[in-house]
Structure formats: C-alpha cells, structure tokens
Structure 1
Amino acid sequence: MATDPVAIDLTDDEREVLQRGLAEWGGPAGCSDALASVMGFRDKADLLDQCERLHSALISGDPLPGADWRKALRATEIVFVSDEFGSGKDWSATTGFSDEETIRLLRKLQRKVADAFNGRDT
C-alpha cells in the first residue's frame, strides 16, 4: 500500500543532512504558510510540527511513508538553497556541512528516495 512505511538505507551523513535540514526550519529559516503548502505541509505550524516528528523518526531510523520521505527531502532542499526563506549562505555555519558536500548528499538522497518509490503510488 502507498502509505506503508518504507525503510531507506541511508548513510550516517545522508541521515544527518536531512536531520539538519529539518531542524533549520525551527531556527534561522523563515517559512510562510504558502511555502509550507508547496512543500506538502498544511501551513507553517504544520511544517514545524512535522519537522520535529520527521527529525525524531530519522534519529530512530524509523521507516516512513513515501509522502514523509519526500517532505523531508523537499524541506531540506529548500532550506539549504534559499537565502530568503532558508539558511542559504549560512547553511555551512549552522549545520557543519559544506555546500559541496550537501549537494553531493542531496543528489544521493534524491536517487534513493526515487528508487524506493519507483512505480508506487505515493
């Protein structure tokens, strides 16, 4: 079933970059309700609540439904890149991941999430 949780085999760094990305929304990043909606959340409050839940699930290594994997990835991509809404140029200072390392990890995560749900209706 599309909503069944799926475990994706992540490296420690891949897991950490997602955790850091989600945590940034509760810190230096500023999200509007509209942006939260585009990322798949109801509004900014839901984004903050869901980021905490997803962050905890990533720490625990819990499987997640496809929609949650995609939300975590989308939220991390946007908070990393956007200087207006996210961490942007401060990403390295606030997370400890260089831009180059983050891009490499995000590309791996994009492939892993896509591969995990290839052909599934999520």
Structure 2
Amino acid sequence: MEERPRASTDLRRPSSLLDPAEVELLRRALGEWGGPARASDDLARAMGFADASSMLRECDVFEDALREDAPLSSRDWARVLVSTEIVFASDLYGSGTEWQTTTGRDDAETIRALRVVQRKLGSVLSGHYGGAALFVTE
C-alpha cells in the first residue's frame, strides 16, 4: 500500500512531542510486533494498515523514525499509538501478560507512561479519534 503524500504542516518530530523515555516506550512496543505479538490482517486493517505484513514493515519504519527523530504525520502518530496500546494490553494479539517478561518494563509504570503519551499526543491525534482518517482508500 502506497502512503498518501504528507503535508509538511502535518509532520511532527518525536522530540517536539515526547520525552526520550516516552519515545523509547513507543519504540519498544513497536518492536513487539513480529516478536511475541501477532496481528491478523483484520486487526492490522482496524489499526489503519493494509494488512499484517505491511503493518510489520511500517512498524519497522516507525521504529526507525522514532530513533532518528524523523517527523511523522498525524496519521502515523495515530497508528504508532494504537499499535502500542494493543501490543501492551492485549493478551490475544499483543504481549499482554508477557509484557514485563518480553520488554523488562513494569506493567504499572508502562500504563502510567502510556497515559502521559496519550495526553501529549492528544492535539496531534484530534482528527483520528474513533479511527477517523486512519484508513486510506485507493
């Protein structure tokens, strides 16, 4: 699936939104996909990806962007966040109860940090609540 062109005003660098520890949480969560976490094509589509294999590829791209402080579109930020939320919380698709084992991160600390990230990304994600504008139709 080819991504739509991004408007330059739509792009935000991780460092302009989040602290380094929060960026690292997102990177670590994205790394769980393709490891202990597995998404079906239907779940991947619900998260705004074309299918599970494209989700894995795009999560790798997002991980790199977060590490390199490269700008992401609001749509990409929404997909990073929903991917993190599901991989952390879901025992069926994500790491779930194995989160602490696979990441070395405490569940209670993770949920507190995730809530901070959700609040900080709120203004960037305002057009995506309820899944709005996550999907590209071609």
Query: What is the TM-score when the length of structure 1 is the normalising length?
Result: 0.91
Q: Deviations over 1:59-96 (max 9, x none)?
A: 01111100000100100100000111010011011112
Shift of 1:52: 0.3
State the AA in 1 paired with 2:38. G
With 22-31 and 3-12 compared, the bigger mean Cα shift is at: 3-12
Q: Deviations over 1:2-60 (max 9, x none)?
A: 87311233112211110011110020011100000111111001100000000000001
How big is the alpha-carbon RMSD for the aligned residues of Structure 1 and Structure 2?
A: 2.1
With 52-61 and 9-18 compared, the bigger mean Cα shift is at: 9-18
Counterpart for residue 101 of structure 1:
109
Residues 1:35 and 2:65 aligned together: no
Query: Which one of the candidate residues 86, 89, 94 is aligned to 1:81?
Result: 89
Give the total of aligned pairs: 122
Contact 1:3–1:66 (Cα < 8 Å) also in 2: no
Which structure 2 segments of 5+ residues have no match? 1-6, 134-138
Which structure 1 segments of 5+ residues have no match? none
Counterpart for residue 17 of structure 1:
25
Query: What is the TM-score when the length of structure 2 is the normalising length?
Result: 0.81
Residues 1:90 and 2:136 aligned together: no
Runs of 4+ more than 3 Å apart: 116-122
State the AA in 2 paired with 1:26. G
Counterpart for residue 51 of structure 1:
59
Task: Tell me how far apart the structure 2 counterparts of residues 54 and 3 of structure 1 sit (CA, whole Å).
Answer: 19
Query: Which one of the candidate residues 66, 69, 94 is aligned to 2:74?
Result: 66
